Amino acid sequence: MRICKLPWSRKVFVRMVLAPVVALGCLLFYVFCISSVVEKSVVFTVARGDSVSGVANRLMKKGLIDSVQTFKMLIRANGGTVQAGHYEINRGASVWRVADMLANGKVAQTTILIPEGLTIRQIKNKLLQEKGLTGAVDCVTGDSREICNLQDGQIFPDTYTVARGTPRLAVLDLARKKMKSVEEKWTKTNMWPKPLKNWNEVITLASIVQKETPLIREMPVVASVYLNRLNKGMRLQADPTVVYALTNKLGDMQGAPLLRSHLQIDSPYNTYKNKGLPPAPIANVGLAAIGAVLNPAETKYLFFVADGRGGHRFANDYETHKKNHNDWRKIKKIKNKN
């Protein structure tokens, strides 16, 4: 029997059959994955309940896709629905990229930094400046009691990444829950340095330490000073507590100096007039300040004053403290002249 040979060689087969397939694949890849009509980055919002057709038409009108049918086909290939949210469509985004984001809920994100040492009032003011968030910072009817009664010391300062359009109250609640988890971890040990008795007292002292020094390495020493004073029945005489009272819990003199007369303000937060800790924290604190209070340095220090270089000079007795204080006054005079 004679076997019939194919009328073309392997090269001819590749040229006539495979080449068009590859070319078509490259064309589709370019159209769906590379080609773009997006000339500048925009934020596109999909509301809850929006239809695929409605979204496709809006995208077309805004010049973010060049084919309604192609977009709808790609959405069908990704499950058939679009997810509500705010989407950051970048310049050069292909129709495939746009469809992938909307079908899979890859919403635009915003990063919120809550620094250590701020009060609730300062944090709320900061959140109001964040354009990527929505809504008010004060609770309304129906909000949880926890978020409506936020107090200083209940927020964990950190960097939070959330979806663009997240309510400001939701960010506050996220930070509240994170601090709650920190509290639960530490209270399991039930170990506080004397004379502290509970978590509120730990956070209250940590908030004073947080406001007194920006240097993490110095925090355990500052904590030891205040613990030593508490154990001896001495007044804490912490300036940040007076500032908290003077500013109605804002915690910022906004450039005004703290005067000797201010130390006479009648407030339970004034540690110049009242013995012991203030009734509650005066700021929101990070792990470094909390750790400094729970694991303070072993010292006999009872006093400290600024050293002019961002840190402090410590003293066991008042005579040494007076000398350190005089040195600080001289440094301030030189700085003021310059």
Give the chain's domain count: 2
- Tell me if 194 is assigned to some domain: no
- Tell me if 73 is assigned to some domain: no
Query: Looking at the structure, do residues 317 and 293 belong to the same domain, yes or no?
Result: yes
Residue type, 174: L
Query: Looking at the structure, do residues 286 and 216 belong to the same domain, yes or no?
Result: yes
- Domain span holding position 248: 199-337
Query: Looking at the structure, do residues 321 and 255 belong to the same domain, yes or no?
Result: yes
Query: Looking at the structure, do residues 322 and 210 belong to the same domain, yes or no?
Result: yes
Instruction: Look at residues 187, 217, 233 and tell me which one is the last residue of a structural domain.
Output: 187
pTM tops 0.85, yes or no: no
**DSSP calls for 146-169:** HHHT--TTSS---EEEEETT-BHH
**Lowest-confidence region among 20-29, 50-59, 180-189, 243-252:** 20-29
- Tell me if 90 is assigned to some domain: no
pLDDT one-digit tens code per residue, 181-215: 999 988 887 788 999 999 999 999 999 999 999 99
Query: Looking at the structure, do residues 159 and 204 belong to the same domain, yes or no?
Result: no
Query: Looking at the structure, do residues 158 and 203 belong to the same domain, yes or no?
Result: no
Query: Looking at the structure, do residues 320 and 279 belong to the same domain, yes or no?
Result: yes
Q: How many helices (H) and strands (E) does the chain have?
A: 13, 6
- Tell me if 103 is assigned to some domain: no
**Lowest-confidence region among 35-49, 98-112, 118-132:** 35-49
Q: What are phi and psi of 41, to 5 degrees?
A: -70, 135
Query: Looking at the structure, do residues 206 and 247 belong to the same domain, yes or no?
Result: yes
Query: Looking at the structure, do residues 133 and 263 belong to the same domain, yes or no?
Result: no
